[in-house]
Amino acid sequence: MKPIKDYAYSCLHVIQRLKERHGLEIDADTYDQMNKHLEPYIGNPNCGTDNNGEQEIHSMFVKIKIVKVVYSLSNKRITTVL
């Protein structure tokens, strides 16, 4: 069974993936800032779409690295880090 991807789940998941995959440590406030930073770019992803256009893939700076994040249009937030 798939987990329900509420805000808390998405936030924790992104924090964990950034640490595992990129060695970056962030907190919930930084996660919120990441989502706010993407707002002007929603609808115009710089790395494409996934899941029949339901998710956008964006490249963005997080601290000192450029990472790719997946933004869910239905959840209106970043749900994972590639």
Domain residue extents for the chain? 7-81
Least confident of 15-24, 25-34, 44-53: 44-53
β partners of residue 61? 66
- The predicted model scores a pTM of 0.91
56-69 CB burial, b ≥16 within 10 A, e <16: bbbebebeeeebeb
Q: Is pLDDT at 3 greater than 80 in this prediction?
A: no
| Amino acid of residue 13 | H
